[in-house]
Structure formats: structure tokens, C-alpha cells
Amino acid sequence: MAPTVLLIGTLSHTNAEWEALRSKYTLLEFRTGTRAQFLENCRNGTYAAVRGCYRSNASNPITGAFDAELVSALPPSWSFIAHNGAGYDNIDVDACSARRIAVSSTPGAVDDSTADTAVFLMLGALRQAHEPLAALREGRWKGDARLGHDPRGKVLGILGMGGIGRALAHRARSFGMRVIYHNRRQLADPALEQGAQYVSFEELLAQADVFSLNLALNASTRHIIAAPELAKMKKGVVVVNTARGALINEADLVAALEAGQVAAVGLDVFENEPEVHPGLVRSDRAFLLPHMGTSTFETQRDMELLALRNLQTAVDEGKMLTLVREQKGLEWAPKEAVAKADW
């Protein structure tokens, strides 16, 4: 029998590629519905033969998070989740690992567009662009515009020097910025650093003129930036976040912004999306976007294609191209449904 795979949510740019898989797989779809309906399908045998699924952050409103409850309801045949999204904090990876369900994400595909957005936010925040932009549309010309700052000569501190962080560092050098970074560990290959200096977390806080968050959200990174960390930053620092809103305690950030400890912020993500803290909305020193860092045709298509490639390699070869970091190095025997190789 042909392997059975499930599409959760919609595809915007790769429906033809999905349909082409019908030549070798049995395709099921759950493009719309509710979490209750999805759980019922898991329990009543509708998905009894499913080996794995394609899902995305955009499908989260349909099924809700792939939390421990949902993962425990998946049928025994389920062996992989090909996730479309660089972030995957709405998947309980520990619960998946306990079930020997492999999870992939879409790193690489999002690096350039997210780094471009970070540069846009950094420049908007440095130049205090919110007020003149708003004033122009309101017929007030420049309004109460302040003088901004050039990026040249500033220190860019990057927290999380993965693909997006490195892409941002590459762009920042063209503005004459000096780049420092902090990871859990220093990059092993000096070529990846391209002249960026590895520093401790405390040094990153103390030295950065522009502080950019480019790391994943998990239990250990939630509120990694809060009042104590903000107090250790340079007075007048610019904070940029294109990763996940909950990396920052938003109330503490607003307090630091109102006190002048933080000069300006450039944010694409928020702690309780789609809600935005009213202190950010009313601040003329907050340059804000509604989580659109990967909102380009090219990037969205690349993400969908990578997730579909992960789906195919999971079924055909028993491995995933871009397994999530938490599962790399795990040793478990592959299930019979997806034989051939360890994840």
C-alpha cells in the first residue's frame, strides 16, 4: 500500500507539488476544521495509517498547538512532523521525542528575508522613523521628529548566531557596524563568524549599541531579556526583535523605553500576538511591524518546498533534512513504518 501522509492547513504556493505526491503516496487533508475534530479523527481511525504530516505555524489556529495532549492522541503509525516555520515553539518536541516522532523545521529558507526585516527595523528605530512617518500621513509633515543615529561605528550585539543572525551580521558590516555575538557556545568554524567577536552574555548586554534577538523560543529562553538584563544594557540602546515576542518581557521593555534606558525598539514580534502592549502602540520611539519577517513570495514558497522535501525524505529514506536542534544526536530505532535509517 502507498504510504499515507496528511496535510494540515493550507498551501499557498505549492499545491501542484503536493498533488504530484499523489503518484506515490495516499494524500489526506485537514485544511480547515477545529482541534476537537482533529482529535476525533486521530481517535476514530481516520488517521490510523498516517505516517506523518505537513503542518505550519499558520495551521496552529486549526488544530491548536501540537502539545502533549495532541501528540499523545496521534496514532501509533505517526513518525514525523514536517513543520513549515523557522520557529516551532507550538510543538512539544519533548513529547514528540518520547513517542519517537521526528520533527523538522525550515531553517535556511527564512534567513535572508528575516535578516532584511531586522535591518529595516534597526534603521527605522535608529532614525526614530515612527513619528515622521505618522506625521506625514496626518498632514503634519515631519511632526515632532527627532534626530536619529547612523549605524556606522555602532556595535551590533546579536543574541543567537544561527543562520538568521549570521545573515544579519553580514548585512550590518556593510553599514560599518562592529558585530559581537553570544550563543550557547562559540561557532566552531571561524569562517562562519566572518570577523564577529564571540562574547559572554553579560558582555553582550554591556557593549551593544543595537541589541538584536535571533534565537529560538523555548523554556530556557522565555523572558531571556527582562528588567535585570535591560538595566545592564547601555543607556540609549536600541532593541530589535524578529524572533519570538516572548523572548522579551514586554512590560519590562515598555518600562525601560519609557524611562529612557532603551532609546528605541524595532519589533516584528510580540509576546501575546496579535495583541500588542499599549505602551508600545502609543510610543513614538517604537518602530513596529505585525510579524511579517518572512512575508515575501520567494521565502514563503521556499519554506513550503523545504517542508515538503522533509516529508518526502521522512517517508522515502527514514530521515529528515532539517531535524530540529533538540532531536539531533538522539538515538532511537526508527519505526517499522519509516524504516531505513535512524533519525
How many angstroms separate the CA atoms of 322 and 131, rounded?
A: 42
| Residue 173: C-alpha distances to residues 21, 84, 108, 125 (Å) | 43, 30, 20, 18
User: Which of 55, 166, 182, 244 is the catalytic position?
Assistant: 244
How many angstroms separate the CA atoms of 87 and 325, rounded?
A: 11
How many angstroms separate the CA atoms of 80 and 76, rounded?
A: 11
Residue 254: phi and psi, rounded to 5, are: -60, -45
Is the omega angle on the peptide bond into residue 274 within 30 degrees of 0, that is, cis? yes
Cell numbers at 12, concatenated: 499557498
How many angstroms separate the CA atoms of 47 and 50, rounded?
A: 5
* Residue 170 annotated to the active site: no
User: Which of 273, 275, 298, 317 is the catalytic position?
Assistant: 273
* Residue 202 annotated to the active site: no
| Residue 210: C-alpha distances to residues 38, 125, 198, 249, 281 (Å) | 44, 10, 16, 18, 21
Exposed, middle or buried by CB within 10 Å (0-12, 13-18, 19+), for 195? Answer: exposed
| Residues 75, 47 contacting (CB under 8 angstroms) | yes
* Residue 277 annotated to the active site: no
The answer for 47, left when phi > 0, alpha when psi is -120 to 50, beta otherwise, is alpha
Within 13 Å and on the Cβ side, how many CA atoms surround 207?
Answer: 20
| Residues 125, 240 contacting (CB under 8 angstroms) | yes
| Residues 218, 224 contacting (CB under 8 angstroms) | no
Q: How many residues does the chain have?
A: 343
The catalytic site residues sit at: 244, 273, 291
